[in-house]
Amino acid sequence: MRSLNIFLYEWKHLVRSPFKIVALLLFILASVYGLHNGADLYNKQNTEIERLNEKEQKEKETILTYFDKGEKGPEKRPWVDVTTPFWSIWYTPTYHFKKPSPTIVYNIGQTEQYGFYKKIDMYSSPYDADMAKEIANPERIQSGTLDFAFVVIFLMPLLLLVLLYNIKGQEAEQGFLPLIFVQTGSKNWWILSRTLFYTMLLLVVLFALLLYGALLTKIFESENAFLPIFMYTAIYLIFWVVVYFLILKYGKSIISNTLQMIGIWLLFAFIIPATIHQWISIEKPTNLMVDLIDIKRDKTDEIYEQQNIDIDKQLFNLYPSLKQTKIAQDTVAIMEARKRSRVALINVAMKNGISRLEEDNSIKNNLISKTYWLNPVTYFQNKLNHSTNTHYYDYQTYRNDIQVLVDKRIEIMVLDIWNDVKVDKAKYLEYNEVFSKN
Amino acid sequence: MLQIIKNEYRFLVRSRIFLGISIAFISILILAIFLGNYQTQKQEQTHKNAKDHVRQQWVSIDEMNPHSAAHYGTYVFKPANLLSSLDEGVNSVTGNVLRVEGHVQNEIIHSEASQMQAVSRFGKLKPSLLLQYIVPLLLIFLAFSSVSNEKQSGRLKLLVLQGAKPLQIILSKTLSVWLYGILLLTIVLSVYSILNYQSLTAEILTRTGLFFLSYTLYYFIISAITVFFSARWQNATLALTSMLGIWIIWTIFLPNILMSSAEKWHPLPSRNKFQSAMQEDRSKGLDGHNPADERGIALKENVLKEYGVDSLSQLPINFDGMRMQADEEYGNSVWDKHFGNNRKILREQKQSFQLGGIVNPFISLQNTSMGFMASDNLHHQEFLLQVENYRRVFIKMLNDKQTFGGSKTGNWGWKEDNAFFKSVPDFDYKPTQISNVFSNYVLDLGLLLLWSILVIVLVIFGTKKIKIG
């Protein structure tokens, strides 16, 4: 009953405070804007994926006409022969996508740092130039998109500050704090109840906003991520409520409380993450990919210059069944097969280089994770990134999937070349089906 | 007026909280400069190692066909910039590695941001982060009660009775807060200059001078508005909350919203659309690797006619190199068209964003800060243009060698020796001079100046309505 009275008083206080109402409305407005930004990105990526699927389909149809007409390939490229495994697989268009999760509506995360589609061929690697992010204004990327997560992580603590800043301080300044303590019985309970009122108000607002976001990308139809995301935002809200509550409990005036609250916010939102970012950059400077460059050029040249016997040894090691093939016994045909198969050895070298690179990145990520205990804002940001499949590791999984598809493509190509497979329309369609699956 | 300013500082210095906050903040500022400098040095070292490594590979080519060397290519790494230790701008989100090769203008890849999980939304601990976000807040905290306190204590009335005009009082209070901001700015630039005194050039001094100017204008705007609110509103809390509201809208809300809107008003093509369009245009031109290409055949006829011979074998030059260069030149016109179009869109986006400075001086400050520190998109684009110009010279040298180096058409086995590859110059980045790009920032500086004038006008006219007692 006592709490209900405090809640009712607080409600009256809120509706009579235009500053707090405006702040709340601005927060809701920014959240809706952020949700629409997320939904726009979701739709934009899906439209692009659809367009690329259509493009892939058209490319496939063009190749199928060669089979129907009994042609070997494009008229202007007389050296192409789609009835051979190499050229047939070369002309099997495969795009691999990182399909956006509907939860991207809440959090764009690191989406804009990476590409989300990749055309795969035998020479592809997850670190190709076309894996770069979409073309965008770097100044916009640097300032970041105002998404819902940004509103929650950075603006919600400020809204909470606006809602709570004068609790106790105002009464203390007006001199009737002792009277309130006498009436309510407990100082802590009174501050806590007032704080809880705003906490509950914000929880309701957040829930409503999350629901609104869910309608924009139909989250409930495909994923079970709504509740975990709500849970993270609620925990994050409670974290700030606790911090501010302690300031209010021990604070003496509105101004001193406000300054302390904004100081803590600056510390957690700006100073600590920025210092950690700077430290990581000093500990592990940006990788300029020299290892991969060496593999792409020198290692590749080295593989092309190796003796046939060495190449065969490595290929037989990689694909033991090659030894028994017809081509392996044919001293003339083996030359072309060997030439086409060298890409498998380059792929192995690239994979080794990439794994060193990913290891290097993993060290950076571990360093960041180790600072979470003092860096809650980054912790929650990355938690949200995980929940919305927009984290670094989600893109690493995407890169790994690409590597699996490249491996599969090369393996099938090498085996079919060495087994002297003749490609017809059915086989070409089979390639298309097999290569599009992870 | 000077006496009021002196008094203000006397009061401030007596406050232990103020002194404590100032010392702590100045320490963080100095730490940020040290760390920023150290990071730049480390990045420079990484850059140098990578550049030397790639160059060494190039000059170690024993013998190679020049066109094969064009495919082997080279790599250019985006250099670290000494000024970026003050404001990193877009450097952490743009790529760092650019492949230079024949037939294609590549895009820069491998950004720092893509190599790790999310850390800081507002970038690293650089002086710009503190100067743009935190110092204005400090100025607000210093100024929000400067006049209202005087009102409440009755000192304002006393000052007026002693002959001070309200306008003088407000301007003096503004100047005292503003000078505090300038002091912090001066400390930053002084420490930066001491740490880098060996590398200071007229260019760097000019740029840091302009950097200083834009921040001083912004700090004046913030100080004057806060002092004005302090005088205009009845209590300090209202002045503080109003200014915090303005700070949030200016620094957190509007830059994000306006930049996103500018990108929507002037949309860039998707990567795939961009590449497909280039590919399509490219396919309309000459294919340097295809001897059966119609345009290649037409070129051949012209060359045969020019040399007065009947067949390629009679030519004293290697026609393959000539065809490759023709292919390259056609390609260049395609790259110019498409990359040029993207640059045009980026320029339009930037211009729209700059106009945001009309409602938000923080936008103008951000633009000038990273612009004068050579770390904005304009400077990034200038770097990319230099690399592309180098690529064209680099590939032409190789194609000319293929054509006129003594080989015959069709002789792909012909190789040039190491001396030639050593003679191919390395990419030498020429930092963009501020005099060449200054005009791009006139609007931002102009808007900051306009805001300062408007704020002065507001103070002059608004002061008349202020109740003294």
Contacts of B15 in chain A (CB under 8 A): none
Mean pLDDT, all residues of chain A: 91
pLDDT of residue B226: 94
Question: Between chains, do A393 and B96 touch, taking CB under 8 Å as contact?
Answer: no
Tokens for A85, please give them. 């495994």
Considering only the beta carbons, identify the residue of B73, B133, B260 that sits closest to A146. B260
A234-240's contacts with Cβ under 8 Å and 24+ in sequence apart are: A234/A203, A234/A206, A235/A380, A236/A152, A236/A153, A236/A156, A236/A376, A236/A380, A237/A156, A237/A160, A237/A199, A237/A202, A237/A203, A237/A206, A238/A199, A239/A376, A239/A380, A240/A156, A240/A157, A240/A160
Share of residues in chain B with pLDDT > 90 (%): 58
Q: Is B42 on the interface with A (CB under 8 A)?
A: yes
| 8 A C-beta contact, residue B207 and residue B82 | no
- For B175-189, write each residue's pLDDT tens digit: 999 999 999 999 999
Share of residues in chain A with pLDDT > 70 (%): 99
Q: How far is CA A268 from the centre of its chain?
A: 23
Q: Is A211 on the interface with B (CB under 8 A)?
A: no
Q: Could you tell me if residue A325 is inside a domain?
A: yes
Q: How many CB atoms lie within 10 A of CB A294?
A: 17
Q: Is B145 on the interface with A (CB under 8 A)?
A: yes
* Residue closest to B217 by CA, chosen among B112, B350, B367: B367
| 8 A C-beta contact, residue B384 and residue B346 | no
Considering only the beta carbons, identify the residue of B50, B107, B123 that sits closest to A132. B107
* Residue closest to B268 by CA, chosen among A111, A137, A52, A147: A137
- For A91-135, write each residue's pLDDT tens digit: 998 999 999 999 999 999 999 889 999 999 999 999 988 888 888
Residues 75-104 of B with CB under 8 A from A: 75, 77, 89-90, 92-97, 99
Residues 6+ positions from A296 with CB-CB distance below 8 Å = A350
Mean pLDDT, all residues of chain B: 90
Band of pLDDT at residue B20, cut at 50, 70 and 90: confident
Q: Is A281 on the interface with B (CB under 8 A)?
A: yes
- DSSP track, B57-90: HHHT--EE-HHHHHHH-EEEEPPP-GGGGT--TT
pLDDT of residue B468: 65
Number of domains in chain A: 1
Mean pLDDT of A418-437: 90
Q: Could you tell me if residue B244 is inside a domain?
A: yes
Band of pLDDT at residue B408, cut at 50, 70 and 90: confident
| 8 A C-beta contact, residue A319 and residue A325 | no
Question: Between chains, do A158 and B248 touch, taking CB under 8 Å as contact?
Answer: yes
- For B130-181, write each residue's pLDDT tens digit: 999 999 999 998 888 888 877 877 877 887 888 778 888 889 889 999 999 9
CA trace torsion A40, A45, A46, A50 (10° rounding): 140
pLDDT of residue A2: 67
Q: Could you tell me if residue B200 is inside a domain?
A: no
Number of domains in chain B: 1
Band of pLDDT at residue B221, cut at 50, 70 and 90: very high
pLDDT at B465 over 80: no
Best to test chain B binding among A32, A48, A117, A140 (most B CBs inside 10 Å): A140
Q: Could you tell me if residue A178 is inside a domain?
A: no
Residue indicated by tokens 């931002």:
B444
Q: Is A378 on the interface with B (CB under 8 A)?
A: yes
Question: Between chains, do B107 and A361 touch, taking CB under 8 Å as contact?
Answer: no
Q: Which residues pair with A231 in a beta bridge?
A: none
pLDDT of residue B26: 92
Considering only the beta carbons, identify the residue of B94, B106, B237 that sits closest to A129. B106
* Residue closest to B139 by CA, chosen among B183, B178, B91: B178
Residues 143-182 of A with CB under 8 A from B: 143-146, 150, 153-155, 158, 162, 165-166
- For B362-401, write each residue's pLDDT tens digit: 999 999 999 999 999 999 999 999 999 999 999 999 999 9
pLDDT at A1 over 60: no
What is the CB-side half-sphere exposure of residue B453 using CA atoms within 13 A? Answer: 7
Q: Which residues pair with B75 in a beta bridge?
A: B99
Q: Could you tell me if residue A133 is inside a domain?
A: no
pLDDT of residue A438: 61
| 8 A C-beta contact, residue B236 and residue B145 | yes
Residues 297-316 of A with CB under 8 A from B: 297-298, 301
Residues 263-282 of B with CB under 8 A from A: 263, 268-272, 274-276
* Residue closest to A312 by CA, chosen among A290, A331, A333, A328: A328
Q: Could you tell me if residue B173 is inside a domain?
A: no
* Residue closest to A327 by CA, chosen among A124, A87, A89, A86: A86
Tokens for A432, please give them. 């298309």
Q: Is B35 on the interface with A (CB under 8 A)?
A: yes
Best to test chain B binding among A171, A275, A281 (most B CBs inside 10 Å): A281
pLDDT of residue A212: 95
User: Could you give the residue ranges of the DSSP H alpha helices within B60-200?
Assistant: 66-72, 127-129, 135-143, 148-153, 155-161, 166-195
Mean pLDDT of A355-363: 93
Q: Return the HEC string of B205-242.
A: HHHHHHHHHHHHHHHHHHHHHHHHHHHHCCCHHHHHHH
Contacts of A37 in chain B (CB under 8 A): 260
Main-chain dihedrals φ then ψ at residue B249, nearest 5 degrees:
-65, -45
Residue indicated by tokens 């941001």:
B113
Please state the ipTM of this predicted complex. 0.90
| 8 A C-beta contact, residue A276 and residue B120 | yes
CA distance B422 to B418: 6
Structural domain span for residue B28 = 2-135+236-444
* Residue closest to B211 by CA, chosen among B194, B197, B192: B192
CA distance B296 to B183: 67
pLDDT at B252 over 70: yes
Q: Could you tell me if residue A109 is inside a domain?
A: no
Distance from CA of A203 to the nearest CA of B (A): 22
H or E element at residue A76: none
| 8 A C-beta contact, residue A282 and residue B35 | yes
pLDDT of residue B469: 60
CA trace torsion B55, B57, B61, B67 (10° rounding): -70
Helix-strand-coil percent breakdown of chain B, rounded to 5?
A: 75, 5, 25
pLDDT at A354 over 80: yes
Q: How many CB atoms lie within 10 A of CB A204?
A: 10
- For A160-174, write each residue's pLDDT tens digit: 998 998 888 777 777
Q: Which residues pair with B77 in a beta bridge?
A: B97
Helices A226-250, A376-387: inter-axial angle, 10-degree rounding: 170
DSSP B318: -
| 8 A C-beta contact, residue A346 and residue A125 | no
Which is more confidently placed, B285 or A410? A410
CA distance A195 to B20: 30
Q: Could you tell me if residue B124 is inside a domain?
A: yes
pLDDT of residue A346: 95
Mean pLDDT of B105-125: 91
Tokens for A360, please give them. 């290097």
Q: Is A13 exposed, middle or buried (0-12, 13-18, 19+ CB in 10 A)?
A: middle
CA torsion sign, B85 to B91 to B97 to B102? negative
Q: Could you tell me if residue B263 is inside a domain?
A: yes
Band of pLDDT at residue A428, cut at 50, 70 and 90: very high
CA distance A297 to A286: 21
H or E element at residue A195: helix A187-217
Q: Could you tell me if residue B164 is inside a domain?
A: no
pLDDT of residue A256: 84
Q: Is A372 on the interface with B (CB under 8 A)?
A: no
- For B66-110, write each residue's pLDDT tens digit: 999 999 999 999 998 889 999 999 999 998 999 999 988 888 989
| 8 A C-beta contact, residue B214 and residue B445 | yes
Q: How far is CA B50 from the centre of its chain?
A: 23
CA distance A397 to A110: 14
Question: Between chains, do B42 and A134 touch, taking CB under 8 Å as contact?
Answer: no
pLDDT at B459 over 60: yes
Q: Could you tell me if residue B196 is inside a domain?
A: no
Structural domain span for residue A95 = 60-100+288-435
Which residue in chain A has the smallest CA separation from B251? Answer: A143
Considering only the beta carbons, identify the residue of A26, A144, A364 that sits closest to B116. A364
Band of pLDDT at residue B238, cut at 50, 70 and 90: confident
Q: Is B86 exposed, middle or buried (0-12, 13-18, 19+ CB in 10 A)?
A: buried
Question: Between chains, do B268 and A270 touch, taking CB under 8 Å as contact?
Answer: no
Q: Strand runs (DSSP E) across A40-127, as ranges?
A: 94-97, 117-120
pLDDT at B126 over 80: yes
Q: Is A387 on the interface with B (CB under 8 A)?
A: no
Q: Return the HEC string of A230-260.
A: HHHHHHHHHHHHHHHHHHHHHCCCHHHHHHH
Q: Is A263 exposed, middle or buried (0-12, 13-18, 19+ CB in 10 A)?
A: middle
Contacts of A147 in chain B (CB under 8 A): none
Band of pLDDT at residue B464, cut at 50, 70 and 90: confident
Mean pLDDT of B23-52: 93
CA distance A133 to A129: 9
Size of interface A-B (CB pairs under 8 A): 237
Reported residue count of chain A is 438
- For B290-304, write each residue's pLDDT tens digit: 666 778 788 888 888
Tokens for A132, please give them. 């770069």
Considering only the beta carbons, identify the residue of A279, A290, A391 that sits closest to B117. A391
Contacts of B255 in chain A (CB under 8 A): 143
- For A210-234, write each residue's pLDDT tens digit: 999 999 998 887 768 899 999 999 9
- For A269-328, write each residue's pLDDT tens digit: 999 999 999 999 999 999 999 999 999 888 998 998 899 999 999 999 999 999 889 888
pLDDT of residue A17: 85
Residue indicated by tokens 């990145």:
A361
Residues 73-92 of A with CB under 8 A from B: 76-78
